[in-house]
Amino acid sequence: MRTIAAVTAALGAVTLLAGCSTPDTAAPDSGTGELTVFAAASLKTTFTELGARFEKDHPGTTVTFNFAGSSDLVAQLTQGAPADVFASADTGNMTKAVDAGIVDGAPVDFASNTLTIVTPPGNPARITTFADLAKPGIQVVVCAPQVPCGSAAEKVEKATGITLAPVSEESAVTDVLGKVTSGQADAGLVYVTDAAGAGAKVTSVPFPESADAVNTYPIAALADAGNGAAAAQFVDLVTSTAGQEVLSSAGFTVP
């Protein structure tokens, strides 16, 4: 009886020690908690929808977005702003993030976008071509050159040999759209997705030269992500069939 009792006590001690010991490898991150996504302003509608879907599919996760011009987002990130995912409206600003060492792994291209002209409803200035934007008296608004939509506008200018004289250069494509919808400009250069999202608030004027400046959108998890598991899962959602359907319905095309 004493032998059995001793063995039982020993086994109990081993079990207790095993229960208190620390495993060699940590349990995988479930991805729950806070997820912060820095995304180009032109992604606001689609990413807000995808964020809601992500929260539904991952109970316990809250997705927070920072939408702005891609160049502004890179500046914030390189200065230490905390975030888990970065989605840029062009490869140039993503390259800046990669070169700064703040990206985890290789970025993935997930969408592309092109420019279109938008005017107030009814197109009162009668703008029908890209060249019309350079006519005297036409108040046109564009994105600043460092912003992807501004860089695309410059590419069109070079391809056509037409130089614009904008009345203002905005830090995000949504700001350009705002100037047009508020009647502060005769026309603006925005992405086709922004024009589609504005609906009846603008008249869209497509122009063939926009094909000379197609922007590709890359996305990546960040090296210092506080929620690496959720970051990877969000990237997977954006690049999945479901994510691509949301983007396609908004006017984005396959990169």
Cα–Cα distance for residue pair 140/133, rounded to 1 Å:
6
12, β-bridge pairs: none
Token pair for 101:
């060492």
Task: Report how far Cα 54 is from the mean position of its chain's Cα atoms.
Answer: 15
In terms of DSSP bridges, do strands 168-170 and 140-143 run parallel, antiparallel, or are they unpaired?
parallel
Cα–Cα distance for residue pair 63/74, rounded to 1 Å:
19
Question: Coil, strand, or helix at residue 140?
Answer: strand
Give the type of residue at 32.
T
Running DSSP on this structure, what letter comes out for residue 22?
A: P
Binding-site members for molybdate are 42, 70, 173, 191
Binding-site members are 42, 70, 173, 191
> Cα angle vertex 65, ends 62, 66, to 5°?
150
Smallest CA-to-CA distance from 90 within 216, 178, 189, 210 is with 216
